[in-house]
Amino acid sequence: MTALPIGKDNLAVQGFYSSTDINLASSSFTQFGPRIIYGLTDDLDISGKLAIGSLAGNSASTIGIGAKYTLMRVMKGDPFDLAGVANIDSYSGTGYAAGSLGVGLEISKYLRNNFSAYGLMNVLQYSTKYTGTSSSSDMALQWGGGVKYYINRKFSLFGEVSMFYAGSESYTTFAVAMQYMI
């Protein structure tokens, strides 16, 4: 998502799909569902998501909350848009549980022809627990980027790639989303 807020008292609904490759386990974690974003102030957005999906063929679910505070805006004369972000996600499935806490920055810039490009960098605390194994917890640096296309003032599309390494495991996520401003 871009670093721009949706604005005070505005509401946006997203439908998203993501797939995370888990190389060590030779599997992937997919999820899809809704995300609701609410503009608490002109600079602060809060969000919540609920998703279903699968991990290595077993059903899985995700619940998450997040916040984004816009620090710089092109509209105010800054060279790019910049926001601080924080997210907490909890994942669970058959024989598997994981959670992540991320804190970081998003940077974005409107290009032209209704396109914006954005990048992200987060510090993650990532924890996992598989049935029959001890739990593990690692710090990781997540980075990535994406593109947002504005179809009109209310409807937009996103595409994003991000990755991080936790312990001896690498995770690459491909995500797409549709957003509608209510």
1 part of a folded domain: no
6 belongs to a structural domain: no
The whole-model pTM stands at: 0.86
- Is residue 150 in a domain? yes
pLDDT attached to residue 107: 96
Residue 169 in any domain: the answer is yes
- pLDDT for 23: 62
Q: Encode pLDDT of 129-139 as tens digits.
A: 776 677 778 88
CATH code of residue 19: 2.40.128.130
State the pLDDT at residue 25: 58
Query: What is d(CA 19, CA 141) in angstroms, rounded to the nearest whole number?
Result: 19
Read off the amino acid at residue 16.
F
Q: Which residues of the chain have pLDDT under 50?
A: none
Which domain, by its residues, includes 159? 11-181
Residue 119: the pLDDT is 96
Tens of pLDDT, residue by residue over 138-151, are 888 999 999 999 99
- Domain membership flag for residue 152: yes
In a domain, 2, yes or no: no
Sequential DSSP letters for 101-166: EEEEEEEEEE-STTEEEEEEEEEEEEEEEETTS--EEEEEEEEEEEEEEESSSSEEEEEEEEEEEE
3-state secondary structure of 40: coil
Residue 4 covered by a domain: no
Q: What's the CA gap between 108 and 111, in Å, rounded?
A: 9
The total number of structural domains that make up the chain: 1
Largest CA distance in the chain: 55
Does residue 124 lie within any of the structural domains? yes
Task: Say how far apart CA 18 and CA 37 lie, in whole Å.
Answer: 18
The pairing of beta strand 27-39 with beta strand 44-55:
antiparallel
Are 128 and 95 contacting, i.e. CB atoms less than 8 angstroms apart?
A: no
